[in-house]
Structure 1
Amino acid sequence: MLLENKTAVIYGGGGSIGGAMARGFAAEGARVFLAGRTPGTLDTVAADIRRQGGLAETAIVDALDESAVNGWVDSIAAQTGSIDVSVNAISQNALFVPLLDMPVADFGHAMDKVARSFLLTAQAAARHMVKQGSGVILHFGGANPANSSPGLGTVQIGCDLVEAIRRQWACELGPHSVRVVSMRTGGIPDSLPDIPETAGHKQKMVDATLLKRAATLDDVGRVAAFLASEHARTITSTQVNISCGALVD
Protein backbone atom coordinates (compact mmCIF):
# COMPACT_ATOMS: atom_id res chain seq x y z
CA MET A 1 0.00 0.00 0.00
CA LEU A 2 1.20 3.51 -0.82
CA LEU A 3 0.57 5.02 2.62
CA GLU A 4 0.88 2.09 5.00
CA ASN A 5 1.62 3.21 8.58
CA LYS A 6 1.25 6.88 7.63
CA THR A 7 -0.78 9.47 9.54
CA ALA A 8 -2.91 11.95 7.62
CA VAL A 9 -4.84 14.93 9.01
CA ILE A 10 -7.60 16.45 6.91
CA TYR A 11 -9.34 19.73 7.75
CA GLY A 12 -12.76 19.84 6.14
CA GLY A 13 -12.74 16.05 6.28
CA GLY A 14 -16.52 15.86 6.21
CA GLY A 15 -16.82 17.72 2.91
CA SER A 16 -16.90 16.20 -0.55
CA ILE A 17 -13.25 16.96 -1.40
CA GLY A 18 -11.84 16.38 2.07
CA GLY A 19 -13.83 13.17 2.36
CA ALA A 20 -12.58 11.97 -1.03
CA MET A 21 -8.98 12.53 0.02
CA ALA A 22 -9.57 10.80 3.36
CA ARG A 23 -11.04 7.77 1.61
CA GLY A 24 -8.14 7.71 -0.84
CA PHE A 25 -5.55 7.89 1.94
CA ALA A 26 -7.28 5.20 4.01
CA ALA A 27 -7.59 2.88 1.02
CA GLU A 28 -3.80 3.03 0.72
CA GLY A 29 -3.24 2.17 4.37
CA ALA A 30 -3.08 5.57 6.10
CA ARG A 31 -4.66 6.26 9.45
CA VAL A 32 -6.78 9.34 8.87
CA PHE A 33 -7.84 12.02 11.33
CA LEU A 34 -10.75 14.14 10.16
CA ALA A 35 -11.37 17.64 11.48
CA GLY A 36 -14.32 19.92 10.92
CA ARG A 37 -17.15 21.75 12.63
CA THR A 38 -20.06 19.44 11.69
CA PRO A 39 -20.08 16.12 13.57
CA GLY A 40 -22.61 14.47 11.26
CA THR A 41 -20.64 14.82 8.05
CA LEU A 42 -17.37 13.83 9.74
CA ASP A 43 -18.98 10.72 11.20
CA THR A 44 -20.42 9.75 7.81
CA VAL A 45 -16.99 9.81 6.15
CA ALA A 46 -15.35 8.00 9.07
CA ALA A 47 -18.03 5.29 9.09
CA ASP A 48 -17.60 4.77 5.35
CA ILE A 49 -13.83 4.38 5.77
CA ARG A 50 -14.27 1.90 8.62
CA ARG A 51 -16.72 -0.18 6.58
CA GLN A 52 -13.97 -0.56 4.00
CA GLY A 53 -11.53 -1.74 6.67
CA GLY A 54 -9.74 1.59 7.11
CA LEU A 55 -8.80 3.57 10.21
CA ALA A 56 -10.47 6.91 10.82
CA GLU A 57 -11.02 9.23 13.78
CA THR A 58 -12.87 12.52 13.98
CA ALA A 59 -12.62 15.74 15.99
CA ILE A 60 -14.45 19.05 16.09
CA VAL A 61 -11.74 21.59 15.26
CA ASP A 62 -12.04 25.16 14.01
CA ALA A 63 -9.23 25.68 11.47
CA LEU A 64 -9.16 29.37 12.44
CA ASP A 65 -8.47 28.64 16.11
CA GLU A 66 -4.71 28.51 16.64
CA SER A 67 -4.76 26.77 20.00
CA ALA A 68 -7.34 24.22 18.83
CA VAL A 69 -5.38 23.37 15.68
CA ASN A 70 -2.04 23.08 17.47
CA GLY A 71 -3.52 21.08 20.32
CA TRP A 72 -5.24 18.63 17.98
CA VAL A 73 -2.18 18.05 15.80
CA ASP A 74 0.14 17.72 18.79
CA SER A 75 -2.17 15.13 20.33
CA ILE A 76 -2.19 13.10 17.11
CA ALA A 77 1.60 13.23 16.84
CA ALA A 78 1.90 12.06 20.46
CA GLN A 79 -0.51 9.21 19.73
CA THR A 80 0.88 8.02 16.38
CA GLY A 81 4.49 9.22 16.43
CA SER A 82 4.30 11.32 13.25
CA ILE A 83 2.33 13.71 11.07
CA ASP A 84 2.92 12.51 7.52
CA VAL A 85 0.22 14.26 5.48
CA SER A 86 -1.71 17.47 6.13
CA VAL A 87 -4.61 18.65 3.96
CA ASN A 88 -6.66 21.82 4.28
CA ALA A 89 -9.91 21.29 2.37
CA ILE A 90 -12.14 23.72 4.23
CA SER A 91 -14.55 25.84 2.26
CA GLN A 92 -13.48 29.38 1.37
CA ASN A 93 -17.07 30.66 1.56
CA ALA A 94 -16.20 32.74 -1.49
CA LEU A 95 -18.06 35.94 -2.32
CA PHE A 96 -19.30 36.09 -5.91
CA VAL A 97 -19.46 39.89 -6.01
CA PRO A 98 -17.66 42.23 -8.45
CA LEU A 99 -14.73 43.90 -6.70
CA LEU A 100 -16.20 47.31 -7.56
CA ASP A 101 -19.19 46.48 -5.36
CA MET A 102 -17.34 44.43 -2.73
CA PRO A 103 -17.64 45.79 0.83
CA VAL A 104 -14.09 46.20 2.11
CA ALA A 105 -14.91 44.52 5.41
CA ASP A 106 -16.38 41.48 3.64
CA PHE A 107 -13.35 41.19 1.38
CA GLY A 108 -10.99 41.43 4.34
CA HIS A 109 -12.92 38.78 6.25
CA ALA A 110 -12.84 36.37 3.29
CA MET A 111 -9.11 36.81 2.74
CA ASP A 112 -8.40 36.56 6.46
CA LYS A 113 -10.14 33.19 6.62
CA VAL A 114 -8.06 31.82 3.73
CA ALA A 115 -4.75 33.23 4.98
CA ARG A 116 -5.25 32.27 8.63
CA SER A 117 -6.50 28.75 8.03
CA PHE A 118 -3.80 27.81 5.54
CA LEU A 119 -1.05 29.34 7.67
CA LEU A 120 -2.26 27.79 10.94
CA THR A 121 -2.83 24.29 9.60
CA ALA A 122 0.47 24.22 7.73
CA GLN A 123 2.38 25.56 10.74
CA ALA A 124 0.93 22.91 13.03
CA ALA A 125 1.98 20.11 10.68
CA ALA A 126 5.31 21.64 9.63
CA ARG A 127 6.61 21.80 13.19
CA HIS A 128 6.39 18.00 13.38
CA MET A 129 7.43 17.35 9.78
CA VAL A 130 10.63 19.37 10.15
CA LYS A 131 11.59 17.38 13.24
CA GLN A 132 10.95 14.05 11.54
CA GLY A 133 12.53 15.12 8.24
CA SER A 134 9.58 14.16 6.05
CA GLY A 135 5.99 14.98 5.24
CA VAL A 136 3.57 16.31 2.63
CA ILE A 137 1.30 19.36 2.83
CA LEU A 138 -1.38 19.13 0.17
CA HIS A 139 -3.68 21.89 -1.09
CA PHE A 140 -6.73 21.59 -3.35
CA GLY A 141 -7.97 24.12 -5.90
CA GLY A 142 -4.79 25.59 -7.32
CA ALA A 143 -5.01 28.94 -9.09
CA ASN A 144 -5.51 29.32 -12.81
CA PRO A 145 -5.03 32.86 -14.20
CA ALA A 146 -6.95 32.00 -17.36
CA ASN A 147 -10.05 31.48 -15.21
CA SER A 148 -10.18 35.10 -14.07
CA SER A 149 -13.41 36.70 -15.24
CA PRO A 150 -16.00 39.19 -14.00
CA GLY A 151 -18.20 37.99 -11.17
CA LEU A 152 -15.76 35.59 -9.53
CA GLY A 153 -15.24 37.96 -6.62
CA THR A 154 -12.89 36.44 -4.08
CA VAL A 155 -12.69 32.99 -5.69
CA GLN A 156 -9.64 33.46 -7.90
CA ILE A 157 -7.99 35.84 -5.45
CA GLY A 158 -8.35 33.26 -2.70
CA CYS A 159 -6.82 30.56 -4.91
CA ASP A 160 -3.95 32.88 -5.83
CA LEU A 161 -3.34 33.56 -2.14
CA VAL A 162 -3.20 29.84 -1.36
CA GLU A 163 -0.72 29.31 -4.18
CA ALA A 164 1.51 32.12 -2.91
CA ILE A 165 1.49 30.50 0.53
CA ARG A 166 2.24 27.12 -1.07
CA ARG A 167 5.28 28.48 -2.93
CA GLN A 168 6.72 30.05 0.21
CA TRP A 169 6.14 26.94 2.32
CA ALA A 170 7.77 24.73 -0.33
CA CYS A 171 10.82 27.00 -0.38
CA GLU A 172 11.19 27.00 3.40
CA LEU A 173 10.38 23.33 4.01
CA GLY A 174 12.22 21.79 1.05
CA PRO A 175 15.57 21.59 2.89
CA HIS A 176 13.80 19.49 5.53
CA SER A 177 12.48 17.00 2.92
CA VAL A 178 8.93 18.26 3.35
CA ARG A 179 6.93 18.62 0.12
CA VAL A 180 4.12 21.10 -0.58
CA VAL A 181 1.83 20.48 -3.56
CA SER A 182 -1.49 21.75 -4.95
CA MET A 183 -4.12 19.86 -6.93
CA ARG A 184 -5.75 21.93 -9.65
CA THR A 185 -9.13 21.17 -11.20
CA GLY A 186 -11.67 22.58 -13.58
CA GLY A 187 -14.46 21.30 -11.35
CA ILE A 188 -15.62 17.99 -9.89
CA PRO A 189 -19.22 17.40 -11.02
CA ASP A 190 -20.02 14.74 -8.44
CA SER A 191 -18.98 17.11 -5.65
CA LEU A 192 -22.15 19.09 -6.43
CA PRO A 193 -25.61 18.10 -5.15
CA ASP A 194 -27.49 15.80 -7.49
CA ILE A 195 -30.40 18.17 -8.04
CA PRO A 196 -31.93 19.64 -11.23
CA GLU A 197 -30.40 23.07 -10.56
CA THR A 198 -26.84 21.73 -10.88
CA ALA A 199 -27.32 19.52 -13.95
CA GLY A 200 -26.43 22.24 -16.44
CA HIS A 201 -23.38 23.33 -14.47
CA LYS A 202 -22.14 19.74 -14.27
CA GLN A 203 -22.48 19.34 -18.02
CA LYS A 204 -20.57 22.58 -18.62
CA MET A 205 -17.69 21.17 -16.56
CA VAL A 206 -17.59 18.09 -18.78
CA ASP A 207 -17.95 20.05 -22.03
CA ALA A 208 -15.00 22.27 -21.06
CA THR A 209 -12.58 19.33 -20.90
CA LEU A 210 -10.43 17.94 -23.69
CA LEU A 211 -11.23 14.37 -22.65
CA LYS A 212 -14.97 15.07 -22.53
CA ARG A 213 -15.14 13.67 -19.04
CA ALA A 214 -14.41 15.36 -15.76
CA ALA A 215 -12.46 14.14 -12.76
CA THR A 216 -14.50 12.30 -10.13
CA LEU A 217 -14.21 12.31 -6.36
CA ASP A 218 -12.58 8.88 -6.64
CA ASP A 219 -9.99 10.45 -8.96
CA VAL A 220 -9.34 13.16 -6.37
CA GLY A 221 -8.71 10.53 -3.70
CA ARG A 222 -6.45 8.38 -5.85
CA VAL A 223 -4.31 11.28 -7.07
CA ALA A 224 -4.08 12.72 -3.56
CA ALA A 225 -2.88 9.35 -2.22
CA PHE A 226 -0.25 9.15 -4.94
CA LEU A 227 0.98 12.69 -4.25
CA ALA A 228 1.22 11.95 -0.53
CA SER A 229 3.25 8.80 -1.17
CA GLU A 230 6.93 8.17 -1.80
CA HIS A 231 6.09 7.47 -5.45
CA ALA A 232 5.73 11.26 -5.78
CA ARG A 233 8.90 12.04 -3.80
CA THR A 234 10.25 14.25 -6.62
CA ILE A 235 7.15 16.48 -6.78
CA THR A 236 7.01 19.70 -4.75
CA SER A 237 6.29 23.41 -5.14
CA THR A 238 3.93 22.87 -8.06
CA GLN A 239 0.35 22.30 -9.13
CA VAL A 240 -0.85 18.91 -10.34
CA ASN A 241 -3.49 19.33 -13.03
CA ILE A 242 -6.41 16.88 -12.75
CA SER A 243 -8.80 18.91 -14.92
CA CYS A 244 -9.00 16.41 -17.82
CA GLY A 245 -7.75 19.21 -20.05
CA ALA A 246 -10.22 21.90 -18.95
CA LEU A 247 -7.22 23.89 -17.73
CA VAL A 248 -4.50 23.77 -20.36
CA ASP A 249 -0.91 24.25 -19.19
Structure 2
Amino acid sequence: MLTPTDVLKDKVAVIYGGAGSLGAGVARAYTDAGARVFLAGRTEDTLRKASAEVGAEYDVVDALDEAAVEAHAGAVVERAGRIDISFNLVPRGDLQGIPLTEMSVDDYTRPVVQGLSCQFITARAAARRMVAQGGGVILSLDSGSRHGTPMLGGTGAADGAMDALIRQLAQELGPSGVRALGIWTAGVADTLTPEKLAGAGAPAMDEAALQGVLAHLDSLRMTKRSPRIADIAALATFLASDAASSITGTWINATAGMFPS
Protein backbone atom coordinates (compact mmCIF):
# COMPACT_ATOMS: atom_id res chain seq x y z
CA MET A 1 0.00 0.00 0.00
CA LEU A 2 1.26 3.46 -0.89
CA THR A 3 1.76 5.92 1.96
CA PRO A 4 1.36 9.73 1.69
CA THR A 5 5.12 9.92 1.21
CA ASP A 6 5.18 7.80 -1.91
CA VAL A 7 1.88 8.35 -3.74
CA LEU A 8 3.87 9.97 -6.56
CA LYS A 9 6.84 7.61 -6.35
CA ASP A 10 8.75 7.36 -9.64
CA LYS A 11 6.59 10.03 -11.28
CA VAL A 12 8.10 13.00 -13.09
CA ALA A 13 6.44 16.41 -12.78
CA VAL A 14 6.99 19.71 -14.58
CA ILE A 15 5.63 22.82 -12.88
CA TYR A 16 5.53 25.97 -15.00
CA GLY A 17 5.67 29.12 -12.90
CA GLY A 18 7.26 26.92 -10.29
CA ALA A 19 9.25 29.63 -8.53
CA GLY A 20 6.15 31.41 -7.25
CA SER A 21 4.83 30.73 -3.77
CA LEU A 22 2.10 28.36 -4.95
CA GLY A 23 4.36 26.62 -7.46
CA ALA A 24 7.01 26.06 -4.82
CA GLY A 25 4.37 24.78 -2.39
CA VAL A 26 3.08 22.27 -4.91
CA ALA A 27 6.63 21.27 -5.79
CA ARG A 28 7.43 20.59 -2.15
CA ALA A 29 4.31 18.43 -1.82
CA TYR A 30 5.24 16.52 -4.96
CA THR A 31 8.81 15.86 -3.89
CA ASP A 32 7.59 14.83 -0.43
CA ALA A 33 5.28 12.37 -2.19
CA GLY A 34 8.19 10.83 -4.09
CA ALA A 35 8.11 12.63 -7.42
CA ARG A 36 11.04 14.00 -9.37
CA VAL A 37 10.15 17.63 -10.02
CA PHE A 38 11.33 20.12 -12.61
CA LEU A 39 10.51 23.79 -12.02
CA ALA A 40 10.24 25.92 -15.16
CA GLY A 41 10.17 29.69 -15.32
CA ARG A 42 11.82 32.79 -16.74
CA THR A 43 13.89 34.04 -13.78
CA GLU A 44 16.87 31.92 -12.82
CA ASP A 45 17.53 33.51 -9.42
CA THR A 46 14.07 32.70 -8.08
CA LEU A 47 14.09 29.27 -9.70
CA ARG A 48 17.44 28.43 -8.13
CA LYS A 49 16.24 29.48 -4.71
CA ALA A 50 12.92 27.63 -4.95
CA SER A 51 14.47 24.45 -6.29
CA ALA A 52 17.01 24.36 -3.47
CA GLU A 53 14.27 24.82 -0.89
CA VAL A 54 11.98 22.08 -2.19
CA GLY A 55 14.44 19.55 -3.57
CA ALA A 56 13.58 20.05 -7.24
CA GLU A 57 15.50 20.64 -10.44
CA TYR A 58 14.94 23.74 -12.55
CA ASP A 59 15.21 25.10 -16.06
CA VAL A 60 14.83 28.61 -17.45
CA VAL A 61 11.94 28.47 -19.92
CA ASP A 62 9.54 31.06 -21.29
CA ALA A 63 6.22 29.19 -21.27
CA LEU A 64 4.90 31.42 -24.07
CA ASP A 65 7.73 30.36 -26.38
CA GLU A 66 6.47 27.32 -28.31
CA ALA A 67 9.88 26.16 -29.48
CA ALA A 68 11.43 26.57 -26.03
CA VAL A 69 8.63 24.65 -24.31
CA GLU A 70 8.84 21.81 -26.84
CA ALA A 71 12.61 21.63 -26.48
CA HIS A 72 12.34 21.64 -22.70
CA ALA A 73 9.74 18.87 -22.66
CA GLY A 74 11.99 16.78 -24.86
CA ALA A 75 14.96 17.48 -22.59
CA VAL A 76 13.02 16.43 -19.49
CA VAL A 77 12.14 13.12 -21.14
CA GLU A 78 15.78 12.63 -22.08
CA ARG A 79 16.89 13.29 -18.49
CA ALA A 80 14.09 11.61 -16.56
CA GLY A 81 12.60 9.16 -19.03
CA ARG A 82 9.04 10.56 -19.09
CA ILE A 83 6.65 13.33 -18.02
CA ASP A 84 3.81 12.13 -15.80
CA ILE A 85 2.49 15.46 -14.50
CA SER A 86 2.36 18.90 -16.10
CA PHE A 87 1.01 21.78 -14.01
CA ASN A 88 0.89 25.33 -15.38
CA LEU A 89 0.79 28.07 -12.73
CA VAL A 90 2.12 30.93 -14.86
CA PRO A 91 0.42 34.30 -14.12
CA ARG A 92 -1.84 35.57 -16.91
CA GLY A 93 -1.60 39.32 -16.37
CA ASP A 94 -5.15 39.79 -15.08
CA LEU A 95 -6.17 43.39 -14.31
CA GLN A 96 -9.09 43.86 -11.92
CA GLY A 97 -10.97 46.58 -10.08
CA ILE A 98 -11.84 48.59 -13.20
CA PRO A 99 -15.35 48.69 -14.75
CA LEU A 100 -15.52 47.13 -18.20
CA THR A 101 -16.71 50.46 -19.60
CA GLU A 102 -13.39 52.01 -18.56
CA MET A 103 -11.09 49.13 -19.49
CA SER A 104 -8.95 48.99 -22.62
CA VAL A 105 -9.21 46.10 -25.06
CA ASP A 106 -5.62 45.09 -24.31
CA ASP A 107 -6.20 44.98 -20.54
CA TYR A 108 -9.39 42.96 -20.96
CA THR A 109 -8.03 40.44 -23.44
CA ARG A 110 -4.54 40.01 -21.95
CA PRO A 111 -5.44 37.23 -19.50
CA VAL A 112 -7.48 35.49 -22.19
CA VAL A 113 -4.84 35.59 -24.91
CA GLN A 114 -1.76 35.24 -22.72
CA GLY A 115 -3.26 32.76 -20.29
CA LEU A 116 -4.88 30.52 -22.88
CA SER A 117 -1.83 30.58 -25.16
CA CYS A 118 0.47 29.65 -22.29
CA GLN A 119 -1.80 26.84 -21.09
CA PHE A 120 -2.19 25.50 -24.61
CA ILE A 121 1.52 25.53 -25.36
CA THR A 122 2.54 23.69 -22.19
CA ALA A 123 -0.38 21.26 -22.28
CA ARG A 124 0.31 20.39 -25.92
CA ALA A 125 3.98 19.72 -25.26
CA ALA A 126 3.12 17.49 -22.29
CA ALA A 127 0.31 15.73 -24.12
CA ARG A 128 2.56 14.74 -26.99
CA ARG A 129 4.90 12.95 -24.59
CA MET A 130 2.12 11.52 -22.44
CA VAL A 131 0.25 10.02 -25.41
CA ALA A 132 3.47 8.37 -26.57
CA GLN A 133 4.10 6.85 -23.13
CA GLY A 134 0.49 5.86 -22.54
CA GLY A 135 -0.53 8.13 -19.70
CA GLY A 136 -0.11 11.28 -17.66
CA VAL A 137 -1.93 14.14 -15.98
CA ILE A 138 -2.31 17.75 -17.16
CA LEU A 139 -3.34 20.14 -14.41
CA SER A 140 -4.46 23.75 -14.52
CA LEU A 141 -5.72 26.32 -12.02
CA ASP A 142 -7.96 29.36 -12.18
CA SER A 143 -10.28 31.39 -9.98
CA GLY A 144 -13.53 29.67 -10.97
CA SER A 145 -15.22 32.91 -12.01
CA ARG A 146 -16.23 31.80 -15.51
CA HIS A 147 -19.87 32.73 -14.87
CA GLY A 148 -18.88 36.38 -14.54
CA THR A 149 -18.10 38.51 -11.50
CA PRO A 150 -18.23 42.32 -11.39
CA MET A 151 -14.97 44.26 -11.49
CA LEU A 152 -12.81 41.26 -12.38
CA GLY A 153 -11.96 42.50 -15.86
CA GLY A 154 -11.02 39.67 -18.23
CA THR A 155 -10.63 37.10 -15.47
CA GLY A 156 -14.03 35.49 -16.04
CA ALA A 157 -13.49 35.22 -19.79
CA ALA A 158 -10.02 33.79 -19.28
CA ASP A 159 -11.30 31.27 -16.73
CA GLY A 160 -14.06 30.20 -19.11
CA ALA A 161 -11.59 29.68 -21.94
CA MET A 162 -9.24 27.67 -19.74
CA ASP A 163 -12.11 25.56 -18.44
CA ALA A 164 -13.08 24.71 -22.02
CA LEU A 165 -9.50 23.89 -23.01
CA ILE A 166 -9.10 21.42 -20.16
CA ARG A 167 -12.41 19.71 -20.90
CA GLN A 168 -11.54 19.35 -24.59
CA LEU A 169 -8.06 18.03 -23.81
CA ALA A 170 -9.60 15.42 -21.51
CA GLN A 171 -11.95 14.22 -24.24
CA GLU A 172 -9.27 14.03 -26.91
CA LEU A 173 -6.54 12.52 -24.74
CA GLY A 174 -8.58 10.19 -22.55
CA PRO A 175 -8.39 7.20 -24.92
CA SER A 176 -4.58 7.42 -24.65
CA GLY A 177 -4.68 7.25 -20.85
CA VAL A 178 -4.05 10.96 -20.31
CA ARG A 179 -6.15 12.91 -17.82
CA ALA A 180 -6.74 16.67 -17.88
CA LEU A 181 -8.38 18.61 -15.07
CA GLY A 182 -8.17 21.81 -13.10
CA ILE A 183 -8.64 23.44 -9.71
CA TRP A 184 -10.78 26.48 -8.91
CA THR A 185 -9.48 28.51 -5.96
CA ALA A 186 -10.94 32.05 -6.13
CA GLY A 187 -7.66 33.20 -4.59
CA VAL A 188 -5.15 31.44 -2.35
CA ALA A 189 -4.77 33.51 0.78
CA ASP A 190 -1.08 33.11 1.56
CA THR A 191 -0.02 33.86 -2.01
CA LEU A 192 -1.51 37.35 -1.83
CA THR A 193 0.90 40.19 -1.10
CA PRO A 194 0.58 43.96 -1.55
CA GLU A 195 2.88 43.68 -4.56
CA LYS A 196 0.86 40.91 -6.21
CA LEU A 197 -2.42 42.72 -5.64
CA ALA A 198 -0.97 45.98 -7.00
CA GLY A 199 0.04 44.11 -10.15
CA ALA A 200 -3.61 43.13 -10.61
CA GLY A 201 -4.80 46.73 -10.26
CA ALA A 202 -5.31 47.15 -6.51
CA PRO A 203 -4.18 50.39 -4.84
CA ALA A 204 -1.02 50.45 -2.75
CA MET A 205 -1.62 48.99 0.68
CA ASP A 206 0.16 48.30 3.94
CA GLU A 207 -0.06 45.12 6.02
CA ALA A 208 -3.21 46.27 7.81
CA ALA A 209 -4.96 46.91 4.52
CA LEU A 210 -3.84 43.51 3.22
CA GLN A 211 -5.33 41.82 6.26
CA GLY A 212 -8.57 43.65 5.53
CA VAL A 213 -8.58 42.28 1.97
CA LEU A 214 -7.94 38.76 3.24
CA ALA A 215 -10.71 39.07 5.83
CA HIS A 216 -13.10 40.19 3.10
CA LEU A 217 -12.14 37.18 0.96
CA ASP A 218 -12.76 34.90 3.94
CA SER A 219 -16.20 36.46 4.43
CA LEU A 220 -17.23 35.49 0.89
CA ARG A 221 -16.62 31.77 1.51
CA MET A 222 -19.21 29.37 2.88
CA THR A 223 -16.59 28.13 5.34
CA LYS A 224 -15.33 31.67 6.12
CA ARG A 225 -11.81 30.45 5.39
CA SER A 226 -9.90 30.95 2.14
CA PRO A 227 -7.76 28.12 0.79
CA ARG A 228 -4.07 28.14 1.64
CA ILE A 229 -1.04 26.94 -0.30
CA ALA A 230 -0.93 23.73 1.75
CA ASP A 231 -4.57 23.00 0.88
CA ILE A 232 -4.05 23.39 -2.84
CA ALA A 233 -0.74 21.50 -2.78
CA ALA A 234 -2.37 18.54 -1.02
CA LEU A 235 -5.25 18.56 -3.49
CA ALA A 236 -2.89 18.79 -6.47
CA THR A 237 -0.92 15.84 -5.10
CA PHE A 238 -4.03 13.70 -4.85
CA LEU A 239 -5.22 14.71 -8.33
CA ALA A 240 -1.84 13.83 -9.84
CA SER A 241 -1.80 10.43 -8.14
CA ASP A 242 -3.16 7.11 -9.33
CA ALA A 243 -5.80 7.36 -6.59
CA ALA A 244 -7.51 9.97 -8.78
CA SER A 245 -7.33 7.87 -11.95
CA SER A 246 -11.09 8.20 -12.58
CA ILE A 247 -11.10 12.02 -12.34
CA THR A 248 -10.73 13.89 -15.62
CA GLY A 249 -12.46 16.48 -17.77
CA THR A 250 -13.57 18.55 -14.81
CA TRP A 251 -12.61 21.33 -12.43
CA ILE A 252 -12.36 20.67 -8.71
CA ASN A 253 -14.07 23.41 -6.72
CA ALA A 254 -11.68 24.47 -3.95
CA THR A 255 -13.19 27.95 -3.55
CA ALA A 256 -14.68 27.06 -0.16
CA GLY A 257 -18.06 27.82 -1.65
CA MET A 258 -17.36 31.29 -3.04
CA PHE A 259 -18.39 30.06 -6.49
CA PRO A 260 -20.78 27.11 -6.06
CA SER A 261 -20.48 24.49 -8.79
TM-score, normalised by the number of residues in structure 2 = 0.88
Match of 2:251 among 235, 239, 242: 239
Deviation at 1:26, TM superposition (A): 1.0
* Unaligned ranges ≥5, structure 1: 51-55
How many Å separate the matches in 1 of 2:152 and 2:106? 17
- Whole-angstrom distance in 2 between the partners of 1:187 and 1:169: 25
Alignment length (residue pairs): 243
The secondary structure found in structure 2 opposite 1:34 is strand
Distance in 2, matches of 1:188 and 1:169, equals 25
Equivalence for 2:200: none
The 1-side partners of 2:237 and 2:10 are apart by 13
Q: Secondary structure at the match of 2:90?
A: coil
Which stretch has the larger CA shift, 122-131 or 191-200? 191-200
After superposition, the C-alpha distances for 1:58-79 in whole angstroms (9 at most, x for unaligned) are 1111011011101111000111
Query: Aligned ranges for residues 1-249 of structure 1 at < 5 Å?
Result: 1-50=6-55, 56-96=56-96, 97-141=98-142, 143-146=144-147, 148-193=148-193, 195-249=207-261
CA distance in 2: counterparts of 1:156 and 1:248, whole angstroms:
15
C-alpha separation between the residues in 1 aligned to 2:124 and 2:144?
21
* 1:142 and 1:162 in contact (8 A); partners too: no
The whole-number CA distance in structure 1 between the counterparts of 2:192 and 2:12 is 28
Cα contact 2:87–2:138 (8 A) shared by 1: yes
What residue identity is the alignment partner of 1:83? I
Structure 1 residue 157, shift from structure 2 partner: 1.0
| Distance in 1, Cα, partners of 2:125 & 2:176 | 15
Measured after TM superposition, the shift of residue 220 of structure 1 is 1.0
Cα distance 1:238–1:142, how it changes in 2: closer, same or farther (>3 A)? Answer: farther
How far 1:106 moved relative to its partner? Answer: 4.2
C-alpha contact (below 8 Å) 1:142/1:182 kept by paired residues? no
TM-aligned CA deviation for residue 228 of structure 1: 0.2
Distance apart, 1:110 and its partner CA: 3.8
Is there any run of 5+ residues in structure 2 with no aligned partner, and where?
1-5, 195-206
Inter-CA distance 165–209: structure 2 relative to 1 (3 Å threshold):
same
Q: How far is the alpha carbon of 1:241 from its aligned partner?
A: 1.4
CA contact (8 A) 1:19 1:45 kept: yes
Q: Percent identity?
A: 38
